[in-house]
């Protein structure tokens, strides 16, 4: 039992990786850890309580808000505000940025962008869901209210990012730019324990994840890539496998650990792509690159894109480097003339 290293211990141990570390980031990550435990508890009894299902409202995305979406949003918002390291948040469940007005928060130096419960439509069928977070230093002066510009920074300015996957076990996976580390929650102890130190995605993989129901309207290069997977055998001579859960975190977490590629291109329903740049694509791209993988929108590196609006959507391709490289070759080919 003595070889257990908790998330808290690991964060403290690693905080010296930062010059002039003040412990503020460690405290911020601790507030996320706390909220994750609270949300995890509610998700684990969702089937027993009247907290699943839709609330009859839509969020700015036009998506039915699930009761647990709102529950998770409130818990993370409260935890981040109370720990005084954050001057404001942007959330999938909030139309505008939420500026924390208390003096302790105005003097904070970080902003957080969050998808409190991604894939929440899977809750009622007991499929895994997740929380995604992205942390930046604010651009506006400390002591003043956070501004929208604090949240519209390119992904390459993130100082930390991570996700919580509420699955067969609950894991918190994060990076501060010094590798990707995974912690598995032990409910008997109430702590996240280091279980996957320095996660590295394999250069090649044999799994592709996409909603092939949208195939007919995929860009030609994506169609060619899927056909390539179906007609070829990757390096390890096992045929490609198609795996798609419909929960970004779950699909990317599997590909991170086993190798693979996740594809959400533009579709008929989402001509700009479905996934949100700021609080889905950017944090997951940061993690994927820190694990040795790649993430792009088909034309450029996700982390180099300068955002234009809080909830903007983006085509998203992420996973094993060699698989992304092959996809990019197909996408670079000219679209056939009509």
Q: How far is the CB of 139 from ligand P6P (least distance, A)?
A: 28
Cα-to-chain-centroid distance, residue 272:
19
Q: Which region, judged by CB under 6 A, interacts with ligand P6P, from 72-80, 102-110, 243-251, 299-307?
A: 243-251
**Binding residue per annotation — 264?**
yes
The answer to whether 319 contacts ligand P6P (rule: CB under 6 A) is no
Q: Which stretch binds ligand P6P (CB under 6 A): 14-22, 154-162, 168-176, 247-255?
A: 247-255
Residue ranges in 172-211 that form contacts with ligand P6P under rule CB under 6 A: 211
Using the CB atoms, write b or e for 175-193: b if 16+ within 10 Å: bbeebbbbbbbeeeeebbb
Closest to ligand P6P by CB, 127 or 193: 127
CB of 248 to ligand P6P, least distance (A): 3
Taking the complex as a whole, the smallest distance from the CB of residue 99 to ligand P6P amounts, in Å, to 26
Q: How many residues does the chain have?
A: 338
| 249 Cβ contact list (under 8 Å, min separation 6) | 118, 119, 128, 129, 130, 131, 132, 163, 165
- Three-state DSSP class for residue 302: helix
Q: Which of 204, 210, 181 is nearest to 287 (CA)?
A: 181
Q: Which of 247, 255, 266, 282 binds ligand P6P (CB under 6 A)?
A: 247
Annotated binding residue 319:
no
Nearer to ligand P6P, 202 or 267 (CB): 267
Kindly tell me which of 30 and 302 has the beta carbon lying closer to ligand P6P: 302
Best CA proximity match to 176, nearest among 134, 130, 146, 139: 134
Give kind and range of the element (H or E) at residue 172. Answer: strand 170-175
40 binds ligand P6P (CB under 6 A): no
Chain centroid to Cα 302, Å, comes to 13
Which range binds ligand P6P by CB under 6 A, 26-34, 44-52, 113-121, 303-311?
Answer: 113-121
* CB nearer to ligand P6P: pick between 88 and 265: 265
Residue 117 makes contact with ligand P6P by CB under 6 A? no
d(CA 307, CA 158): 13
Order of strands across the sheet with 110-118? 98-99, 86-91, 110-118, 129-137, 160-166, 170-175, 180-186, 191-196
Check residue 119 for interaction with ligand P6P (CB under 6 A): yes
Locate 183 and state its tokens.
Answer: 């912690």
- Say which residues have a Cβ less than 8 Å from residue 106's Cβ, sequence separation at least 6: 87, 100, 142, 143, 144, 145
Q: Does 61 bind ligand P6P (CB under 6 A)?
A: no
- What is the spatial distance between Cα 64 and Cα 192, in angstroms, rounded to a whole number? 31
Q: How far apart are CA 19 and CA 17, in angstroms?
A: 7
11/207 with CB nearer ligand P6P: 207
- Does 118 contact ligand P6P by CB under 6 A? yes
Determine if residue 244 is labeled as part of a ligand binding site: yes
Q: Which CB sits closer to ligand P6P, 217 or 224? A: 217
Q: Is 23 in the site for ligand P6P (CB under 6 A)?
A: no
Closer to ligand P6P at the Cβ: 87 or 222? 222
Binding residues for ligand P6P (CB under 6 A): 118-119, 121, 211, 246-248, 251, 274-275
Binding residues for Mg(2+): 92, 115, 117-118, 280
Binding residues: 92, 115, 117-121, 211, 244, 262-264, 274, 280
């Amino acid at each position: 039992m003595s070889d257990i290293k908790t998330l808290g211990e690991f964060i403290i141990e690693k905080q010296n990786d930062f010059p002039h570390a003040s412990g503020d980031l460690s405290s911020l990550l601790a507030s996320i850890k706390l909220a994750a435990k609270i949300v995890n508890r509610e998700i684990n009894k969702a089937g027993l309580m009247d907290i699943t299902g839709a609330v009859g409202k839509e969020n700015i995305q036009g998506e039915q808000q699930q009761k647990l979406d709102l529950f998770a949003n409130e818990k993370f918002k409260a935890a981040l505000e109370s720990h005084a390291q954050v001057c404001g948040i942007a959330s999938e469940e909030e139309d505008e940025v939420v500026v924390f007005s208390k003096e302790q928060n105005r003097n904070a130096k970080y902003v957080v962008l969050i998808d409190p419960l991604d894939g929440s439509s899977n809750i009622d069928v007991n499929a895994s869901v997740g929380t995604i977070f992205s942390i930046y230093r604010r651009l506006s002066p400390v002591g003043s209210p956070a501004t929208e510009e604090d949240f519209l920074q390119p992904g390459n300015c993130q100082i930390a990012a991570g996700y919580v996957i509420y699955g067969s076990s609950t894991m918190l996976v994060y990076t501060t730019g010094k590798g990707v580390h995974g912690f598995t929650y032990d409910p008997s102890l109430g702590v996240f324990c280091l279980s996957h130190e320095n996660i590295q995605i394999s250069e090649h993989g044999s799994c592709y994840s996409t909603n092939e129901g949208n195939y007919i309207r995929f860009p030609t290069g994506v169609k060619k890539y899927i056909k390539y997977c179906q007609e070829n055998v990757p390096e390890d001579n096992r045929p490609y496998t198609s795996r798609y859960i419909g929960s970004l975190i779950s699909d990317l977490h599997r590909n991170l650990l086993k190798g693979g590629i996740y594809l959400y291109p533009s579709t008929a329903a989402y001509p700009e792509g479905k996934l949100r740049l700021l609080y889905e694509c950017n944090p997951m791209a940061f993690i994927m690159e820190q694990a040795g993988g790649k993430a792009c929108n088909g034309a450029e590196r996700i982390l180099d894109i300068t955002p234009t609006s809080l909830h903007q959507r983006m085509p998203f391709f992420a996973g094993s480097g060699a698989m992304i490289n092959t996809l990019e070759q197909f996408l670079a080919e000219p679209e056939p003339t009509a």
